[in-house]
Amino acid sequence: MLELQKQLNDATNGEEWAVKKVTKNGKAINWKRCIYMECAEIIDSFAWKHWKSIDAKVDWDNVQIEIVDIMHFVLSLAIEQYAQKGENSLEQIAKDMAQNKLFAQVQKNELSFAPSQEVMQQVEYVMFLVLQRDNFDLTQLFEQFYKLIVMGALDLDSLYKLYVGKNILNQFRQDNGYKAGTYIKVWNGKEDNVVMMQLWQNNPNYTPDELYADLEKEYNKLK
pLDDT-derived band at 88 (thresholds 50, 70, 90) equals confident
CATH number at residue 60: 1.10.4010.10
**Residue 127 confidence (pLDDT):** 98
**Residue 100 confidence (pLDDT):** 92
34 alpha carbon, distance to own chain's centre: 10
User: Which tens digit of pLDDT belongs to each residue from 158-213?
Assistant: 899 899 999 899 999 999 999 889 999 999 999 998 899 889 889 888 888 899 99
pLDDT-derived band at 223 (thresholds 50, 70, 90) equals confident
pTM comes to: 0.89
Domain enclosing residue 152, as ranges: 2-222
CA dihedral 15, 170, 65, 29 (to 10 degrees): 40
* pLDDT higher than 90, residue 107: no
State how many domains the chain has.
1
3-state secondary structure the chain: CHHHHHHHHHHHHCCCHHHHCECCCCCECCHHHHHHHHHHHHHCCCCCCCCCCCCCCCCHHHHHHHHHHHHHHHHHHHHHHHHHCCCCCHHHHHHHHHCCCCHHHHHCCCCCECCHHHHHHHHHHHHHHHCCCCCCCHHHHHHHHHHHHHHECCCHHHHHHHHHHHHHHHHHHHHCCCCCCCCCCEECCEEHHHHHHHHHHHCCCCCHHHHHHHHHHHHHHHC
**Residue 179 confidence (pLDDT):** 85
User: Which tens digit of pLDDT belongs to each residue from 124-146?
Assistant: 999 999 999 888 999 999 999 99
User: Which tens digit of pLDDT belongs to each residue from 12-54?
Assistant: 999 999 999 999 999 999 999 999 999 999 999 998 999 998 8
* pLDDT higher than 90, residue 97: yes
Calculate mean pLDDT across residues 148-154.
96
* pLDDT higher than 90, residue 216: yes
